[in-house]
Amino acid sequence: MPRHRRRRGHAPQVSHERWLVSYADFITLLFAFFTTMYAISTVDAQKMSKMVASMQVALKQDPSVVIVPVAPTPPSGSRSIAPKLDTLVELQQQLSGRLQRQIAQGSVALEIDARGLVISIREAGSFASGSADLSPSARVLLAEIAGPVSELTQPMRIEGHTDDTPIRNSKFRSNWELSTARATEVIAYLQQDLHIPADRLSAAGYGEFHPRVANTSMAARAQNRRVDLVILNGATRAAEEPTVAPAH
């Protein structure tokens, strides 16, 4: 009988690197997890959008991963935000994150009004009573504020305010002089030490005549003793700043 030769079967090749596929998937999911945790922990919508874009680039080769960009949410109570206020809203969000402790302590307040973004710094901890000399803690606070502010081009008006208690010492004859001196002291520090361009800065001293609340108690007077850093919006800037006369 003819002999049938057995065909020699090829032994299956065993891959010793299959674990790399599972490991790569695990690393990808871990990266997505921590990136998502970062995204939900910050209130800065602009940074979160940049993060989402970088995730899409990093994971674009994995068809099973779908990322939905998150658009910035306008503040409640307003249908839309005028373009001139967009950067001021973002600046307010950044400063709210930077100054959480000071805001919680009541030494700093942030608000947007008809003029623009108002950063209100209380006298307590910033100036000694009857003095225009900046304290070390006030210098640290201004440095925290100057970081994000320096990224913008809007003009900034520094406004000094006092309560209605009359002052008369060897250096200042009235609250007018004290409030103006405090505003110019802040400007000097912003310009010389923190390098904010001088053409963005202006000073005003209002004495006791622009109080936040009625001067009816010690606590109310403490609220009125302050320095306001006002980042002007486009409308205020156009209305208040003189136009440059054409050269003849």
DSSP notation for 118-180: EEEEESTTTB-TT--PBPHHHHHHHHHHHHHHTT----EEEEEE--S-----SS-SSHHHHHH
In a domain, 193, yes or no: yes
Structural domain of 126: 83-240
Report the amino acid identity of residue 171. Answer: K
- Among 111-115, 163-167, 239-243, which is the least confidently predicted range? 239-243
Q: Where do the DSSP E strands lie in the chain?
A: 108-112, 116-122, 156-161, 201-205, 226-232
Q: Are residues 233 and 123 in the same domain?
A: yes
Q: What is the CATH number of the domain that holds 96?
A: 3.30.1330.60
Number of domains into which the chain is organized: 2
Judge whether 106 lies within some domain: yes
- Verify that 37 and 122 share a domain, yes or no: no
The C-alpha angle with vertex 220 and arms to 214 and 225, in degrees rounded to 5, equals: 100
In a domain, 143, yes or no: yes
Question: Nearest 5°: phi and psi at 20?
Answer: -65, -30
Sheet with 156-161: strands ordered across: 108-112, 116-122, 226-232, 156-161, 201-205
Answering whether pTM is above 0.75, one says no
Q: Are residues 35 and 135 in the same domain?
A: no
Is the pLDDT reported for residue 62 higher than 80? no
Tell me how far apart the alpha carbons of residues 89 and 82 are, in angstroms, rounded to a whole number. Answer: 10
More confident site: 82 or 211: 211
Is the pLDDT reported for residue 186 higher than 90? Answer: yes
Angle (CA) 102-104-109 rounded to 5° is 65
**Domain annotation covers residue 8:** no
Do 52 and 89 lie in one domain? The reply is no
Query: Do 26 and 127 lie in a common domain?
Result: no
Q: Is residue 161 a contact partner of residue 206, using CB atoms and an 8 Å limit?
A: yes
Higher per-residue confidence, 63 vs 16:
16
Question: Are 212 and 101 within one domain?
Answer: yes
pLDDT at 115: 95
